[in-house]
Amino acid sequence: MSDAGRAENRLPKIYDIPLSEIDDFPDHPFQVRLDDDMDALVQSVKERGIITPVTLRQKEDGRYEIVSGHRRKKACELAGLETVKSEIKELTRDEAIILMVESNLQRSTILPSEKAFSYKMRLDAMKRQAGRPAQENYSPLGNNSLGVKSSDEMAEAVGESKNQIFRFIRLTELIPDLLNMVDEGRIAFRPAVELSYLTKEQQAALLETISYTDATPSLAQAIKMKEFSKNGKLGPDVIESIMSEEKPNQKEKFTFKAERLRQYIPSNIPYEKTEDYVLKALEYYHRYQERQKERSQER
């Protein structure tokens, strides 16, 4: 066989695989967003087709599982194509997880929750490959002695410190509503890591407090809640007390529980008009007090 023939044999084989035969990756942690970038990708697919083939893994039942290229596959669906150019690789489950995470971390925008679950999946896969038990409670200090080598290898591979990797993995302990607030930028990353140590019940109580105070915890407040939780003393009243503490550079503001106000507000007043109604009531009461003061001075 000639050198050219041998070189050709080393090239990956590309196949046109029907989209109907391709399944999503189990527990895929990365979102496929239908945004402007997706619109541009769909238009590109319509005009030029898929430039970079997706990577598939064949399953035992003969169907395929997408490992890399979830956005490209979705773009093909939206473009009305029936097949997608694919490279099929023989991969174990853990090899597929590592490749899936590695390829998706190249995205320009990655949410904290996406990093959190993908880092956890990849580190667990690396530990299984190395024969190391996966440890459930990931430490943000990176002192997981059972997986020191795996975490060091992963830190080098993803370009983040071992400590930062464990901090991201801690976010998987947050209840979904709090994790969504981290993705939206309403709760900062470091406070979120501390809040992940609260029980699910305590996190739910915190979420309720956030909803009626319209404020999220600072790092100092999150650390304080973590300490109270560790000592078994973090109830709803303590959470409310901590959240009512004034933060640095924060203007003083008043907060009220909705149920305390609603009993004095007519039922025909919509919830979103509650603030306007309360302000008008205070203005009326203020004018009443002023009239009473004037009358007392006239006597």
* Distance between CA atoms of residues 136 and 120, nearest Å: 10
Q: What pLDDT shows up at residue 141?
A: 39
Both tokens assigned to 226: 């973590």
Both tokens assigned to 204: 């739910």
Q: Are 224 and 196 in contact (CB under 8 A)?
A: no
* Distance between CA atoms of residues 262 and 170, nearest Å: 38
Q: Are 120 and 144 in contact (CB under 8 A)?
A: no
Given a cut of 60, whether residue 62 has pLDDT beyond it is yes
- Break the chain into its structural domains and give their ranges: 1-91, 111-173, 175-243, 260-298
Q: Tell me the pLDDT band of 98, cut-offs 50, 70 and 90.
A: very high
* Distance between CA atoms of residues 254 and 209, nearest Å: 13
Torsion sign (Cα): 94, 111, 51, 6: negative
Given a cut of 60, whether residue 293 has pLDDT beyond it is yes
The more confident residue out of 142 and 225 is 225
* Distance between CA atoms of residues 1 and 214, nearest Å: 72
Which region among 49-58, 88-97, 254-263, 264-273 has the lowest average model confidence (pLDDT)?
A: 254-263
Of 250, 258, 232, 228, whose CA–CA distance to 241 is shortest?
Answer: 228
Which region among 8-12, 127-131, 201-205 has the lowest average model confidence (pLDDT)?
A: 8-12
Q: Tell me the pLDDT band of 6, cut-offs 50, 70 and 90.
A: very low
* Distance between CA atoms of residues 177 and 196, nearest Å: 12
* Distance between CA atoms of residues 121 and 168, nearest Å: 12
Span 84-93, mean pLDDT?
93
Select the CATH number that applies to the domain covering 1-91 from these four: 3.30.450.40, 3.20.20.10, 3.90.1530.10, 3.20.20.150.
3.90.1530.10
Q: What pLDDT shows up at residue 99?
A: 93
Average pLDDT, the chain: 83
* Distance between CA atoms of residues 241 and 231, nearest Å: 17
Given a cut of 60, whether residue 5 has pLDDT beyond it is no
Q: What is the 3-state secondary structure (H, E, C) of 10-41?
A: HCCCEEEEEHHHEECCCCCCCCCCCCHHHHHH
| pLDDT tens, position by position, 25-49 | 998 989 898 888 899 999 999 999 9
Which region among 147-151, 177-181, 200-204, 218-222 has the lowest average model confidence (pLDDT)?
A: 147-151
How large a percentage of the chain has pLDDT more than 90?
55
Span 129-151, mean pLDDT?
55
* Distance between CA atoms of residues 273 and 281, nearest Å: 12
Question: What torsion do the CA atoms of 116, 121, 122, 123 make, to the nearest 10 degrees?
Answer: 80
Q: Tell me the pLDDT band of 121, cut-offs 50, 70 and 90.
A: very high
Q: Are 198 and 187 in contact (CB under 8 A)?
A: no
Q: Are 140 and 196 in contact (CB under 8 A)?
A: no
